[in-house]
Structure 1
């Protein structure tokens, strides 16, 4: 019960501040609902983020909620994740660099009753974080210029409750019921005057998962899965204020509309002896989002993820390295942003290890992420590391 006590306290302390955490430094996070957060948490980050067809006795898979039914039935699990990354941005107007790091997710999971599994947690959904300056000529005054400073922070967080059910020996279904909320503040400053756009939104949401798992030999098993999330309207409360050096005037209040994009995915994994091979395909309908700028448009994204895991599966008396696991993955996708009509590509390479520790495991992933739009309109390169700590506690005495 110590795990429940301490980690539930951690979750309650983290909740109020999570929506304010800056998890990106991209100037294009000012558009839509911010930069969508992916690949910064979970024990499968080193495997390219594969999830749709993944399950395991220590895998807290809430990306496909049906995957929870693969957990060890005698244990309660808690998992927390953190990241750090160095980002570099390039465009025709110049280059910039930034370093960010933060806690990124928390999950508590386990079996409730035979055939019924649950999880609860907190993860980021999107993030806004940028700072840059622009110098323009002053109209009517040749040789004179003014400087504008643009700054923004905030984003959306997701609190979720996952339920998963085994409908038979091989088939599982699951649902994530989520509450998505967050604040964002965008500021444009000139001299002693600032214009602040403050936004707040919240909504309930649900997404669904399905898995079919089958053992086809003593050392061979396969899993196929599917996920789906519907398009959800977000009503965003906007207040615009003019801030002077010593006073503030609220100019207007109005509501705008954005959407959580519809998505669907299929995937599968094959476990053969000590190796696991996984493949996912995802589609996200980001074109339902509006940027508010004619030069920037959202477009639908297609993503292909491949992952590999080698686990020697050594006994508790075996060496440390035989009890560790070794992972690698590739993530290929089309960018969801289109700038000045230019499309491009995104890819990610990742590798890492799962390390045994007392009463748990630590999964470490290193990754390189690259986004490039045509004609050098925009480019982003990221070197990063994620760390996930999964803690377990025997819970069999209270099982129903």
Structure 2
């Protein structure tokens, strides 16, 4: 029991901080659109490979991109805990000013179990869309000469709790299914402050819930002593999110409630995606490329179809080696997103460059330290934004629930 204690403590810690997935006032100004910017399950292995994962089958890391990939973990593992946390340094440049922010996130966690050599099951929690912004302008009420500073803030996530089932159909084909429950709480505040820092605060709280499903398959097109070539495809669909909302107006200085609106019902549509990719793997190299197509939504006037092109590679000298250096992994990746929103006739595109080093703790556990640079938008649209991210990914594996045989 003692050797499992660190893993259990991490699990309890995650359960205690899960409600703090969203940050307040630190994020992209483009996340004001709809329910925020999509994440595309870009965590763990996918993040350090530049968001590649449709055709990737790793023996030592969970792949969050394709549900069919999660039975590729080495047969010696029967339990795995995967955690992804990050520290972010952000810079936002508009036509008027430059703002810098620093914040940290719990991005994703999952628990994985093997039930047979061919079948695995996992469950986890991760955000689907993230909204987090803060900006201000000058406002005049009709009939009043006084100038007010109007400050906008909004934060919230759409999160999913999922169950991932993966199994093999023969020696070269794997399929996976990932049903999910979606939920999220959003808060928006608009402050109107006069020259004496007094005024009014308008608050609105919205809650959403719904369901989703992802399905995928992977097939090994080529398999010999020199390596394997794998093709994978996955699709993601979400139901209409049903939601409720209420609002109120209060004084800024004393929080005296002046007006409360009745609760209203609303719904919202999230965009579906399809993704396909190829990967080549041998004893030392993993090289992959993905193409993602995102469908627009009718509920968002700024929503457009987008494409994401990703490429990545990982080198590990000898996963089965006997020393630290031979089992250490080195990763590089990049991707380009044509933009899922359009404003003033311009697409808000983005690109990322990633790198990582993975250090083994033992044969079935390792820690990965990664860096990601993300650039998005232009000042001619709303803002030019950059994000430097340091990521820690923990993968703890063991042979829990495995019945040993003794001679």
Q: 1:342, 1:373 within 8 Å by CA — same for their partners in 2? A: no
Map of 1:56-205 to 2, 5 A cutoff?
56-75=58-77, 76-137=79-140, 139-140=142-143, 144-190=146-192, 191-205=198-212
Partner of 2:387, secondary structure, is strand
Query: How far is 1:131 from its partner?
Result: 2.1
1:231 deviates by 4.4
The structural deviation recorded for 1:23 is: 9.0
Choose which of 226, 233, 247 in structure 1 pairs with 2:233.
226
Equivalent position SS for 1:230: strand
2:242, 2:266 within 8 Å by CA — same for their partners in 1? yes
Tell me the SS of whatever aligns to 1:130: strand
Distance 1:101 1:349 in 2: 19
2:352–2:373 contact (8 Å) kept in structure 1: yes
Aligned residues: 392
TM-score normalized with structure 1 length = 0.90
Q: Work out the CA distance in 1 between the residues paired with 2:389 and 2:349.
A: 19
CA distance in 1: counterparts of 2:17 and 2:181, whole angstroms: 15
* Larger strand percent: 1
Structure 2 CA distance for partners of 1:8 and 1:374, relative to 1, 3 Å: closer
The 1:118–1:23 alpha-carbon spacing in structure 2 relative to 1, beyond 3 Å, is farther
Q: Does 1:325 align with 2:329?
A: yes
Unpaired runs of 5+ residues, structure 2, are 193-197
Tell me the equivalent position of 2:341: 337
Task: Report the more deviating stretch, 329-338 or 95-104.
Answer: 95-104
Distance in 2 (CA, whole Å) between partners of 1:364 and 1:208 is 29
Does 1:250 find its partner at 2:260? yes
The equivalent position to 1:43 in structure 2, one of 38, 42, 45, is: 45
SS in 1 for 2:402: helix
- Residues 315 and 97 (structure 1), Cα distance of their counterparts in 2 relative to 1, 3 Å cut: same
> In the alignment, is the contact (CA less than 8 A) between 1:304 and 1:331 conserved in 2?
yes
Instruction: Calculate the TM-score normalised by the size of structure 2.
Output: 0.89
Q: Distance in 2 between matches of 1:195 and 1:396?
A: 53
| Structure 1 residues 19 and 254, CA gap change in structure 2 (3 angstroms) | farther
**Which ranges in structure 1 are unaligned for 5 or more consecutive residues?**
292-296
Q: The residue matched to 1:307 in structure 2 has which SS?
A: strand
The answer to whether structure 1 residue 261 and structure 2 residue 266 are counterparts is: no
The C-alpha deviation readout for 1:5-36, integer Å capped at 9, x for no partner, is 44543443244x14544595222322211122
Shift in CA distance, 20/44, structure 1 to aligned 2, threshold 3 Å: closer
Judge conservation of contact 1:62–1:176 (CA < 8 Å) in 2.
no
Q: Which moved more, 1:324-333 or 1:122-131?
A: 122-131
Structure 1 pair 282–311 and aligned structure 2 pair: CA distance change class (3 A): same
Does the 8 Å CA contact 1:40/1:386 hold for their aligned counterparts? no
